[in-house]
Amino acid sequence: MEKFVVHKGLVAPIDRENVDTDAIIPKQFLKRITKSGFGDNLFDELRFLDHGEADSDPATRKPNPDFVLNQPRYRNASVLIARKNFGCGSSREHAPWAIQQYGFRALIAPSFADIFFNNCFKNGLLPIALPEQTVAKLFDEVAAFPGYELTVDLERQVIVKPQGEEIPFDVQAFRRYCLLNGFDDIGLTLRQADKIKAYEAERLATKPWLTHTLHG
């Protein structure tokens, strides 16, 4: 998993409350058996005027010119701001996959659905919950200033505005540790690889019959 220490990026606004995971990545795209390729279909029913399927080529489809991510000023945005209860609905982990694979590194909203919030951390995304009035002010500033960027400093736990003003945010210590070091669940386990190997060797030495059980 890619480390998250400090990220500076263009901000895109999704001015909707209760954006659910089916809006983030519609159900027809969950048929893929790999973990890649979901970014092409992020917010699919909002980004495109025609209906898409898992095998649809995005280059041949009709983009919705009114949707925020299709507007030139938000091209290559990597920080997403949204309204409250972002990521509600089903527990599909494909939602943070799609957001991350589209190019976003950080999400800012007044609140997130619990399962979505947890899944973000496991996939290298940083979801930041801020007071509703603080997020509303960010929406106003993004609308007023094309090219509006924020610097998200996880190490210091602050968001830095273009003028230098800092907004503090909270992150649970273990989640912060994992993001700063790029540890997903597998990465955390692999830190104990030597101990795991030693345990397996000792177990087979004391119970050699397990060799036949494991490999038979």
Kindly report the pTM of this predicted structure.
0.88
Element (H, E) at 158: strand 158-160
Q: What order of strands is seen across the sheet that includes strand 106-109?
A: 126-129, 106-109, 79-82, 6-14, 149-153, 158-160, 166-168
Mean pLDDT of 102-131: 97
Query: Helices in 123-192 by DSSP H: which ranges?
Result: 132-144, 173-181, 185-190
Give yes or no for residue 213 having a pLDDT over 60: no
Q: Can you tell me whether residue 164 is helix, strand or coil?
A: coil
| pLDDT confidence of residue 18 | 98
**Could you tell me if 186 and 10 are in contact, meaning their C-beta atoms sit under 8 angstroms apart?**
no
**Could you tell me if 1 and 183 are in contact, meaning their C-beta atoms sit under 8 angstroms apart?**
yes
Could you tell me whether strands 79-82 and 149-153 are parallel, antiparallel, or unpaired per DSSP bridges? Answer: unpaired
Integer CA distances (angstroms), 41 to 1, 69, 77, 186, in order: 21, 12, 16, 26
Tracing tokens 């540790």 back to the chain, one arrives at 177
Fill in the amino acid letter for 97: W
Residue 194's pLDDT band, with cuts at 50, 70 and 90, is confident
| pLDDT confidence of residue 179 | 96
What domains can you pick out in the chain, each with its CATH number? 6-183 (3.20.19.10), 184-216 (no CATH)
Q: Which residues contact 144 (CB under 8 A, 6 or more apart)?
A: none
Phi-psi region of 215 (alpha: psi -120 to 50; beta: other; left: phi over 0): alpha
Q: What is the pLDDT of residues 130-151, one digit of tens each?
A: 999 999 999 999 999 999 999 9
Give yes or no for residue 69 having a pLDDT over 60: yes
Q: What is the pLDDT of residues 77-100, one digit of tens each?
A: 999 999 999 999 999 999 999 999
Q: Which residues contact 74 (CB under 8 A, 6 or more apart)?
A: 10, 12, 68
Q: Can you tell me whether residue 146 is helix, strand or coil?
A: coil
